[in-house]
C-alpha cells in the first residue's frame, strides 16, 4: 500500500534532497550554514549527520565563488544543489548563472551539460524588508538555458525537486518562505513530477485564476469566497514551473471559462503575468474571452518591513476576490 502522510513543505524538500543523495553519489550540496546549522530555513537540518561534510559542503559567504564552483562541478559530472539563503542574493552572482551555467550546453555544441539546482527562499511576508523579500523569478525566465520552478504544496515541492536534481540543465528552484511550515499529503513511495506540467488545483466554469507559489493558496481561498459570496465558480491553475511553461493548460482553461485573472507575488510591472497574458492573447483562447485579461501583482516599490505596510503591497484573497468579481460583472 502506498502510505500517505501529512508533512510540511520543509520536510518534503528534505526528503527529496536526502532520497536523491542516497540514489546518486554524485549529488552534493553547497551553501552557507547548510551543515550543522541546518540551513537558513532548516531545510537541510540533520542531513550532515547522514552524508557528512564531504557531500554537505559549508561555504564561505560568497555566492559568486560557490556558484562558480558548482557550475564547474556540474560540467565534470557532479550534480550539485546550491542553496542561497535568500533569492535576493542571486544578484551578486548573476554572471555565473546567466553567462556561464545557462550557456555552457549551447556554446559547447551540446558536448557539456550543467546538471545543477539553485534553490532559494523567495518572497515576502516575514518583515525581512527590501533586500530579503523580493520575488525575482521573472529575471531568470528571461535567460535561455535556465529552467525555473516554483511549487505551492509539499507534494509538488518533493516531486519537482527530485525531477530538478535529475535534469541535465540548470534549474532555479524557488521556495516561498511562508510555505515552509505549511502541511500537505505526500506519499512515502517514490514519485516525480515533470517540469512544464501545470496542475488544475480547482475546477470552475466562470473564470480561471492563473498563479503559482504562495499565491496558489490565496487563489484557492479567493475561489471559495467567490463561490460563497457571489456564486462564481473559479478555476485555479497552478503553473508549478515557469520554464518550461505549460501553455496548453493555460489556453485550455481560459478557452473553457472565457475569463482570466493572473496573480503573482512579484511586482506586477514587467512581471511573469505579462508572459501569461500574451500566451492567452496569441492563442485560440483570445476568441473565447468574455472580458479583458487582468493581472494582480505587487506594487512597484521596495518591500517595506512594517507588517501593515508590507501587507498592502501584495495581492490578498480579498483583492483577488474583488478583481475576479469585477471581471465577471464587467466593471
- Same domain for 163 and 271, yes or no, is no
Q: Is the pLDDT of residue 109 over 50?
A: yes
In terms of Cα–Cα distance, which of 95, 67, 79, 85 is closest to 23? 79
- Same domain for 112 and 61, yes or no, is yes
Is 193 a member of any domain?
no
Last residue of a domain, one of 166, 187, 208: 187
Catalytic residue among 15, 132, 137, 265: 132
Q: Is the pLDDT of residue 294 over 80?
A: yes
pLDDT of residue 194: 98
Last residue of a domain, one of 187, 208, 233: 187
Last residue of a domain, one of 187, 216, 237: 187
CATH number at residue 319: 3.40.50.920
Q: Is the pLDDT of residue 279 over 70?
A: yes
pLDDT of residue 273: 97
Q: Is the pLDDT of residue 323 over 80?
A: yes
In this prediction, what percent of the chain has a pLDDT beyond 70? Answer: 99
From 151-165, 231-245, 300-314, the region with the lowest mean pLDDT? 300-314
Dihedral of the alpha carbons of 298, 315, 215, 91, in degrees to the nearest 10: 20
- For residue 41, give every residue at least 6 positions away whose Cβ sits within 8 Å of its Cβ, in sequence order, or none: 10, 85, 121, 175, 177, 180
d(CA 314, CA 163): 30
Burial call 105-125: b when 16+ CB within 10 Å, e when fewer: beeeeeeebbbbbbbbbbbbb
- Same domain for 182 and 314, yes or no, is no
* Total structural domains within the chain: 2
pLDDT band of residue 216 (cuts 50, 70, 90) is: very high
pLDDT of residue 243: 97
Domain of residue 313, residue span: 199-329
Is 24 a member of any domain?
yes
> Would you tell me how many other CB atoms lie within 10 Å of the CB of residue 181?
11
d(CA 174, CA 149): 6
Q: Is 132 a catalytic residue?
A: yes
pLDDT of residue 331: 58
Q: Is 63 a catalytic residue?
A: yes
Q: Is the pLDDT of residue 137 over 50?
A: yes
CATH number at residue 86: 3.40.50.970
Catalytic residue among 11, 15, 32, 63: 63
* Orientation angle between helical segments 9-23 and 154-166, nearest 10 degrees: 30
In this prediction, what percent of the chain has a pLDDT beyond 90? Answer: 91
Grid cell 479567493 in the structure block, residue: 222
- Same domain for 46 and 172, yes or no, is yes
Amino acid at each position: 500500500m502506498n502510505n500517505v502522510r501529512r508533512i510540511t513543505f520543509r520536510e518534503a524538500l528534505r526528503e527529496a534532497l536526502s532520497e536523491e543523495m542516497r540514489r546518486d553519489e554524485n549529488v552534493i550540496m553547497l551553501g552557507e550554514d547548510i551543515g550543522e546549522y541546518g540551513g537558513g530555513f532548516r531545510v537541510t537540518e540533520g542531513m550532515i549527520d547522514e552524508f557528512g561534510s564531504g557531500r554537505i559542503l559549508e561555504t564561505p559567504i560568497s555566492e559568486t565563488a560557490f556558484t562558480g564552483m558548482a557550475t564547474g562541478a556540474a560540467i565534470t559530472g557532479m550534480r550539485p544543489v546550491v542553496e542561497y539563503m535568500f533569492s535576493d542574493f542571486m544578484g551578486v552572482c548573476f554572471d555565473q548563472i546567466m553567462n556561464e551555467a545557462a550557456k555552457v550546453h549551447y556554446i559547447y555544441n551540446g558536448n557539456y551539460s550543467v546538471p545543477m539546482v539553485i534553490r532559494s527562499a523567495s518572497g515576502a511576508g516575514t518583515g525581512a524588508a527590501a533586500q530579503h523579500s523580493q520575488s525575482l523569478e521573472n529575471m531568470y525566465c528571461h535567460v535561455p538555458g535556465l529552467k525555473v520552478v516554483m511549487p505551492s504544496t509539499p507534494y509538488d515541492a518533493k516531486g519537482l525537486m527530485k525531477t530538478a536534481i535529475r535534469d541535465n540543465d540548470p534549474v532555479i528552484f524557488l521556495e516561498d518562505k511562508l510555505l515552509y511550515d505549511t502541511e500537505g499529503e505526500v506519499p512515502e513511495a517514490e514519485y516525480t513530477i515533470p517540469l512544464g506540467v501545470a496542475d488544475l488545483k480547482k475546477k470552475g466554469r466562470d473564470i480561471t485564476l492563473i498563479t503559482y507559489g504562495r499565491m496558489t493558496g490565496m487563489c484557492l481561498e479567493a475561489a471559495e469566497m467567490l463561490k460563497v459570496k457571489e456564486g462564481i465558480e473559479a478555476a485555479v491553475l497552478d503553473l508549478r514551473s515557469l520554464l518550461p511553461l505549460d501553455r496548453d493548460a493555460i489556453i485550455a482553461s481560459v478557452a473553457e471559462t472565457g475569463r482570466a485573472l493572473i496573480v503573482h507575488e512579484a511586482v506586477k510591472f514587467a512581471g511573469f503575468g505579462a508572459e501569461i497574458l500574451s500566451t492567452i492573447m496569441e492563442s485560440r483562447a483570445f476568441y473565447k474571452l468574455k472580458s479583458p485579461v487582468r493581472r494582480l501583482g505587487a506594487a512597484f516599490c521596495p518591500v517595506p518591513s512594517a507588517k501593515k505596510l508590507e501587507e498592502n503591497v501584495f495581492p490578498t484573497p480579498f483583492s483577488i476576490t474583488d478583481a475576479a468579481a469585477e471581471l465577471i460583472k464587467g466593471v
